[in-house]
């Protein structure tokens, strides 16, 4: 079977020409001001945020103009961080996985518009709940590269272990056969580590090499001799240790290889940036054709209304409000246990930056990267970027009672649910997360705002048949100006079969040396326990992720399957009840939970 994808050659040719000539006779830019200001910022924020170590590299065209380490790679052994320190770069790995896929397409070994089953014939997943069957919309490699496949996002049980695991992808393929897709392809952006993990399996199958052999060959071609998806003895001397709040963490193997297991340093990653700035070429070696790189850096989701302002390329994120006036941008962030990283590139201005740190949840990596890029842009071009504006202020207005009441109801969110109630003059907004109540007043622009501030504005809209709440603000790190907050949920009666199951459940199938057994609660990506309960007439499943108590709003489909309501990552899929050794257990995101003897306290949050 052959598959044929569409390709806009005119747009891509324009894109390639816009990159301009690589290299120039112009006088080299003086980046001393950038380096001085960024150094001061990094040193101050490392003290304030208890960051153990960090390394940074700034690239201009084909030149590394600054590379430096700060703090410690291993504080206990007094090993300083340098430009050669090797870190876990986390999900930045996805951009490299995408590059590998696109090389295989150039070689005629893969077509990203083919169904995944063309390359992994054993792949199967149940159709998404609440959608009509749509056989014309298969899960393709392209939808996986853009987080639009609908494949459940995070199956972390056994994903990070003390010893390397080689059967993770085989387990995923087996598990997914009984799992439900979250959405049809191209319905909404929903980040999926699972989809990228399977792309690693695709690379191995079509290349005729192991995933490690193929990707290590790519790193060598790019001159990235201290980079790999897999640990190597040669890395030991420069390998950073991961930290959380200045406490060292155990070292875990990332078995979700293609989604985030790359080890690298900023010197090697600078070569990767040079490849992007060089239209697919670095140090005289062609890695990708210019038109292939152009396709990777072209928005793939412009026909997905629920994505709002998000511009997603093939693995690369292509928008950042901090750089609205700086031409094209591509970036990605990565996080693993004890590490946080960020890479960001301005192709039109031929500059890019990468920051790697060995402290989890330390946003300094993202902030330092953006600050460096802003300052470097100013030094090179004179462009001094202003902070992106928030939503435009609008006079407060009045709405008829009936119009306000039409918005009242329950809205499922990422962390739980909100309740909107019509009150005199506006709306009352209550959130289960934090149990905070706020009043919203109508604006003449058709949105709502708090009585004393319009920095946050709330829009109620219907998109792709979904009634949603949209927040207009300067979102986290200035990425987007509006974000999808919640989807309206119409409560249904809870069947007796589900009511009989209410209570607390403990994980029963945890992988033997899974990281959950060793990590502090605030960095655990998998919930040790869940609690099935009814709140405000809604069936919910409570869980704890990275120290945050979350509620999943459930809509029972039958006596053993309930849909996870809300839109976005890890939503839209299913909570299932399965029978193990004659006993019912709850299945969620690759884990099983067994009823515990825990007696629920009346004062419990649930």
State the pLDDT at residue 606.
Answer: 46
Q: Which residues make beta-bridge pairs with 553? A: 540
Residue 146 in this model has a pLDDT that exceeds 60: yes
pLDDT tens digits for range 367-401: 999 999 999 999 999 999 988 888 999 999 999 99
Q: What confidence tier does 592 reach under pLDDT thresholds 50, 70, 90?
A: very high
Residue 23 in this model has a pLDDT that exceeds 70: no
pLDDT tens digits for range 538-554: 999 999 998 889 999 99
Please tell me the distance from the alpha carbon of residue 550 to that of residue 571, in angstroms, as a whole number. 13
> What is the pLDDT averaged over residues 4-15?
39
State the pLDDT at residue 481.
Answer: 75
Ranges 218-227, 357-366, 464-473, 489-498: which has the least confidence: 357-366
State the pLDDT at residue 4.
Answer: 38
Helix, strand or coil for residue 315?
coil
**Is the whole model's pTM more than 0.85, yes or no?**
yes
Q: What confidence tier does 252 reach under pLDDT thresholds 50, 70, 90?
A: very high
The total number of residues written for the chain in this structure: 606
Q: pLDDT above 70 covers what percent of the chain?
A: 93
> What is the pLDDT averaged over residues 102-113?
98
Residue 555: C-alpha distances to residues 216, 515, 540, 562 (Å): 45, 31, 9, 5
Angle subtended by helix axes 32-49 and 364-381, to nearest 10: 170
> What is the pLDDT averaged over residues 248-257?
96
State the pLDDT at residue 479.
Answer: 58
State the pLDDT at residue 378.
Answer: 98
> What is the pLDDT averaged over residues 9-26?
42
Contact status, residue 459 vs residue 469, Cβ threshold 8 Å: yes
Q: What confidence tier does 477 reach under pLDDT thresholds 50, 70, 90?
A: very low
Residue 123 in this model has a pLDDT that exceeds 60: yes
Average pLDDT for the chain: 92
Edge to edge, what strands does the sheet with 63-74 contain?
A: 79-80, 63-74, 53-60, 351-357, 339-346, 330-336
pLDDT tens digits for range 260-283: 999 999 999 999 999 999 999 999
State the pLDDT at residue 9.
Answer: 35
Residue 5 in this model has a pLDDT that exceeds 50: no
Ranges 309-318, 414-423, 518-527: which has the least confidence: 518-527
> What is the pLDDT averaged over residues 299-326?
96
State the pLDDT at residue 540.
Answer: 98
> What is the pLDDT averaged over residues 178-192?
97
| Domain 496-595 indexed as CATH 2.40.128 | yes
Residue 1 in this model has a pLDDT that exceeds 80: no
Residue 505 in this model has a pLDDT that exceeds 70: yes
pLDDT tens digits for range 37-49: 999 999 999 999 9
> What is the pLDDT averaged over residues 519-525?
90
> What is the pLDDT averaged over residues 61-85?
98
Contact status, residue 374 vs residue 388, Cβ threshold 8 Å: no
State the pLDDT at residue 504.
Answer: 98
Per CATH, the architecture of 29-381 is what?
A: 3-Layer(aba) Sandwich (3.40)
Residue 2 in this model has a pLDDT that exceeds 80: no
Q: Are strands 426-431 and 417-423 parallel, antiparallel or unpaired?
A: antiparallel
Return the DSSP state at 23: -
State the pLDDT at residue 473.
Answer: 86
State the pLDDT at residue 26.
Answer: 63
pLDDT tens digits for range 446-459: 999 999 999 999 99
State the pLDDT at residue 474.
Answer: 67
Burial of 449-488, coded b for 16+ CB within 10 Å and e otherwise, reads bbeeebebbbbbeebeeebbbbbbbbeeebbbbbbbbbbb
Residue 128 in this model has a pLDDT that exceeds 60: yes
Backbone angles phi, psi at 47, to 5 degrees: -65, -45
């Amino acid at each position: 079977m052959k598959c044929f994808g569409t390709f806009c050659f005119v747009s891509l040719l324009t894109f390639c020409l816009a990159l301009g000539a690589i290299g120039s006779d112009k006088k080299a830019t003086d980046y001393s001001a950038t380096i001085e200001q960024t150094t001061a910022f990094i040193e101050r924020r490392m003290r304030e945020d208890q960051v153990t170590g960090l390394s940074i590299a700034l690239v201009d065209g084909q030149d590394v103009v600054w590379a430096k380490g700060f703090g410690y790679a291993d504080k206990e052994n007094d090993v300083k961080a340098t430009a050669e320190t090797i870190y876990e770069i986390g999900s930045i790995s996805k951009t490299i996985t995408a590059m590998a896929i696109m090389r295989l397409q150039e070689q005629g070994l893969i077509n990203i518009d083919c169904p995944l089953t063309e390359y992994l014939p054993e792949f199967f997943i149940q159709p998404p709940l609440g959608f009509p069957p749509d056989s014309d919309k298969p899960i393709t490699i392209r939808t996986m590269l853009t987080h639009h496949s609908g494949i459940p996002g995070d199956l972390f049980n056994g994903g990070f272990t003390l010893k390397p695991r080689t059967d993770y992808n085989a387990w995923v393929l087996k598990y997914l056969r009984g799992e439900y897709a979250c959405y049809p392809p191209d319905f909404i952006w929903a980040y999926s580590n699972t989809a990228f993990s399977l792309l690693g399996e695709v690379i191995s199958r079509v290349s005729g090499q192991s995933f490690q052999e193929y990707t290590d060959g790519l790193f060598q071609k790019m001159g990235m001799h201290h980079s790999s998806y897999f640990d190597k003895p040669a890395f030991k001397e420069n390998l950073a240790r991961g930290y959380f709040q200045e406490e060292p963490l155990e070292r875990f193997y990332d078995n979700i290889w293609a989604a985030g297991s790359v080890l690298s340093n900023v010197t090697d990653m600078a070569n990767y940036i040079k490849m992007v700035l060089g239209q697919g070429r670095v140090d005289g070696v062609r890695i990708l054709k210019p038109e292939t790189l152009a396709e990777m850096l072209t928005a793939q989701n412009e026909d997905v209304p629920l994505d709002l302002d998000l511009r997603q390329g093939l693995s690369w994120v292509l928008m950042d409000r901090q750089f609205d006036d700086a031409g094209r941008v591509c970036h990605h962030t990565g996080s693993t246990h004890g590490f946080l990283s960020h890479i960001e590139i301005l192709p039109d201005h031929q500059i890019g930056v990468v920051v790697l740190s060995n402290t989890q949840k330390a946003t300094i990596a993202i902030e330092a990267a953006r600050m460096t890029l802003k300052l470097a842009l100013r030094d090179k071009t004179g462009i001094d970027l202003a902070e992106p504006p928030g939503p435009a202020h609008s006079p407060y207005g009045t709405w008829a009672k009936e119009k306000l009441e039409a918005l009242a109801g329950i809205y499922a969110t990422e962390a739980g649910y909100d309740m909107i109630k019509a009150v005199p003059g506006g709306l009352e907004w209550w959130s289960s997360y934090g149990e905070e109540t706020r009043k919203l007043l109508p604006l003449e622009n058709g949105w709502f705002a708090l009585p004393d501030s319009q920095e946050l504005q709330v829009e109620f809209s219907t998109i792709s048949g979904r009634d949603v709440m949209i927040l207009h603000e300067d979102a986290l790190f200035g990425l987007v100006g509006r974000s999808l907050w919640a989807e309206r949920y119409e409560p249904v009666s809870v069947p007796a079969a589900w009511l009989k199951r209410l209570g607390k459940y403990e994980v029963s199938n945890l992988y033997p040396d899974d990281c959950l057994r060793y990590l502090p609660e605030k960095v655990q990506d998998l919930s040790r326990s869940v609690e099935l309960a009814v709140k405000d007439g809604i069936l919910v499943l409570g869980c704890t992720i990275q120290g945050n108590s979350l509620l999943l709003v459930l809509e029972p489909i039958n006596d053993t399957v309930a849909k996870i309501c809300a839109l976005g990552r890890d939503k839209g899929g299913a909570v299932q009840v399965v029978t193990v050794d004659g006993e019912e257990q709850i299945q969620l995101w690759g884990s099983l939970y067994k009823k515990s003897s825990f007696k629920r306290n009346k004062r419990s949050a649930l």
